[in-house]
Amino acid sequence: MYFDTLLGVDKEVLKIINFRIEEVKMRANVRIAELIEQLEQLEKKMHAYKVVDPAARGILQYPVHVIMKSMPLIFPDPWELWELLLQTFGSEVFTPMIVAKFPMQFSEDQDQKRIFLRK
């Protein structure tokens, strides 16, 4: 409660005033949360612009799914793209994901999985 007494104001009117203040406060808190989220997104973009090679900054404006859809045009040979991904992330990043996605296609031998991924 924000006001419990106001000189010359009825208790019912005070309830309405307090209710309205609470509504405004809740809407303000929602808007603040939205603005914080926008700020965090902008901070991520700014960080990306700082760390990405200046020649590649133009690509940052596109969503990842748009970039990925263009990959077949840039890399007609999927193995070329695969090699670039391995160079960028390392093979150990992809091994658990591939094994989880296609468990029946791999033996239980981890060395065999690594050999397959490096081919």
Ordered DSSP codes for 69-111 = HHHHHH-SSHHHHHHHHHHHH-HHHHHHHHHHHSGGGS-S-HH
Between CA 35 and CA 50 the distance in angstroms is 22
Q: Which two structure tokens, joined as six digits, stand for 88? A: 């960028």
pLDDT tens digits for range 6-62: 767 888 888 898 899 999 999 999 999 999 999 999 999 888 888 888 887 788 788
Domain boundaries, the chain: 1-61, 74-119
Assess contact for 117 and 91: CB atoms under 8 A. yes
Q: Which two structure tokens, joined as six digits, stand for 100? A: 């989880």
pLDDT tens digits for range 52-104: 888 877 887 888 899 899 999 999 999 999 999 999 898 788 888 888 888 77
pTM beyond 0.75: the answer is no
